[in-house]
Amino acid sequence: MQIGERLKEVRKRKNIKMPAIAAATGISKENLYKWEKGTKPSDFSQYNKLADFLDKVESTPDFVYEEPKANNIKQSKQTAPSLFTGIYLSNDEDAIPLADGNAPGITMMNDKPMLVGWRIDAPVIGNFDCVIAVTGDSMEPKFKSGSWIALKKLRFTKILNAGYHYYVVDKNLQGLLRRVQPAAENNSIILIAENEQYPEIIRKIDDVLAIFSVEAVINK
């Protein structure tokens, strides 16, 4: 079976969207769509990356999780392997795997604010919670639109390094990638864009739901 046919078959059987595969493999969506339609890959290293990814997905059975019911009897339920992670913003609960149908971004789940990001296998980066896409030009040239950042949620939001970059989510469920400096006002921080056309923003720590450190930048 050609690699494009395998890709199409796996996507259909596992209900995996192309952006998730692009994030997991580092291959552009445009190339993946071309290969799925029959164009043969010209880059052997990218071919191997996709083949390894498909091997991994094909060999992973649909995992089973236990769904609690009102009478405390648990019922097994089949789901597709998760390619997304949900990180609760206002709680210290463990991150949870999510099905492919969940769109990345900040949302509400079980009446709790949550950041949904991609799960990728990248041991070289180290310990991180998820990967999200950079959008807009507010952080250029350091962070280009379309690149990816690996995030790790901080347990203690008052322990920050001045001048470092963080992803800050406030109580309006707005997430901003910014360089952080302490503000003159007590218990507040300044969020600074790399693009000078964007003004500085001051946020009180009490108005912040969560802060993530930027563990790595993944450029396409």
- H-type alpha helices, the chain: 3-14, 18-25, 29-36, 44-59
Tokens of 78: 């089949």
Domains identified in the chain and CATH numbers: 3-59 (1.10.260), 84-218 (2.10.109.10)
pLDDT at 19 over 70: yes
Residue 193: band (very low, low, confident or very high) from pLDDT cuts 50, 70, 90? very high
Question: Who wins on pLDDT, 62 or 64?
Answer: 62
Question: Looking at residue 55, what DSSP letter applies?
Answer: H
Rounded-to-integer distance, Cα 162 and Cα 188, Å: 12
pLDDT of residue 100: 57
Rounded-to-integer distance, Cα 161 and Cα 181, Å: 8
Lowest-pLDDT range, 79-83, 184-188, 210-214? 79-83
Lowest-pLDDT range, 68-72, 97-101, 136-140, 154-158? 68-72
What value does the mean pLDDT of the chain take?
Answer: 83
The residues with which 150 forms a beta bridge, in sequence order, are 131, 216
Helix (H) or strand (E) holding 152: strand 148-153
pLDDT of residue 37: 92
pLDDT at 6 over 50: yes
pLDDT at 59 over 60: no
Q: Convert the pLDDT of each residue in 41-56 to its tens digit.
A: 888 888 988 888 787 7
Helix (H) or strand (E) holding 65: strand 64-67
**What is the mean predicted confidence (pLDDT) over 23-42?**
87
Residue 78: band (very low, low, confident or very high) from pLDDT cuts 50, 70, 90? very low
pLDDT at 212 over 90: yes
Rounded-to-integer distance, Cα 176 and Cα 205, Å: 14
pLDDT of residue 170: 96
pLDDT of residue 69: 39
Amino acid present at 186:
N
Question: Looking at residue 145, what DSSP letter applies?
Answer: T
Lowest-pLDDT range, 27-41, 63-77, 156-170, 202-216? 63-77
Tell me how crowded residue 73 is: count the other CB atoms within 10 A of its CB: 8
pLDDT of residue 199: 96
pTM across the whole model? 0.65
Count CA within 13 A, CB hemisphere, residue 109: 21
Most confident of 14-23, 32-41, 59-68: 32-41
pLDDT at 75 over 50: no
**What is the mean predicted confidence (pLDDT) over 91-113?**
78
